[in-house]
Amino acid sequence: RYISIFRPSVKHEAKQNKAQWKTMGPAKVAVPSPKDFLQKHSKEPKLQERKIEQDSKKLPALSVPRRTDHPVMGIQSKKNFINTNAVAAITRLPKKPQPLYVDSRQGDKYLLETSGLVPKYIKKKDYGVTPKYLTERKEEMKKAQKEYEASILEQLKKRAMKVLSDEERKRILQGLKKNWEEVYREFQCLPVKIDTIPKRLHKEKLETQMKQLEHDIQTIEKHKVIYIANE
């Protein structure tokens, strides 16, 4: 088993120091003097004494005249205040009345400008002008659309696809509408009372044909560019 080399010295120091603290403290303690008793407010922090400045004895300057002061006499003005005020009143622009509105029987008045009834926004310089961020966004969308169409054309060229021309698209659309009219005419010729299974099956067949033709017509009208595979 491991034994420390400092074990004997530690035991010796512990025996020497242990005897002094057997009485819950040192064996001999200096007795305090009866003159050094605890006084009131002796443990509170003491502030430095305030230095009294010499200028504090001076009174602050007063804004009102003193009792001993005398007004300056003998100063007269040659200005004609009556004529000056009359000319200023004649040449002054008339004061515009403040626009108000009344919306109650008691006649309570409110400012018209803050009511929302004055068309302030219509008179702005940039009113009705398309914001700059919208134009930039439209240009970005157009650019992205062109890049998308170019990528599709490249893919179609690789896959041997061709674009359906406008004339062929219109011709197919007219043919679909004509077929729908023929099926609808045949559907109108059905009897009012369908009491047999063949009649019911025939009616369901016509309804499915009409729905399919309507779906094809909507698809062709919705998409202006149609790609078809080369045979």
- The confidence score (pLDDT) of residue 22 equals 61
Residue 213 lies inside a defined structural domain of this protein: yes
Per-residue pLDDT 10s for the chain (231 aa) are: 788 888 988 888 877 766 555 656 666 777 888 888 888 988 888 888 877 665 556 666 767 888 888 888 888 888 899 999 999 999 998 888 888 888 888 888 888 888 888 888 888 888 888 889 999 999 999 999 999 989 888 877 776 667 788 888 888 899 999 999 999 999 888 888 888 888 889 989 999 999 999 999 998 888 888 877 665
Q: What is the pTM of this model?
A: 0.33
Residue 166 lies inside a defined structural domain of this protein: yes
- The confidence score (pLDDT) of residue 17 equals 66
Phi, psi of 79 (to 5 degrees): -75, 135
Residue 61 lies inside a defined structural domain of this protein: no
Residue 126 lies inside a defined structural domain of this protein: no
Q: What distance in Å separates the CA atoms of residue 154 and residue 148, rounded to the nearest whole number? A: 10
- The confidence score (pLDDT) of residue 38 equals 86
Residue 192 lies inside a defined structural domain of this protein: yes
Residue 84 lies inside a defined structural domain of this protein: no
Range of the domain at 170: 162-228
Residue 215 lies inside a defined structural domain of this protein: yes
Residue 205 lies inside a defined structural domain of this protein: yes
Number of domain units in the chain: 1
- The confidence score (pLDDT) of residue 83 equals 93
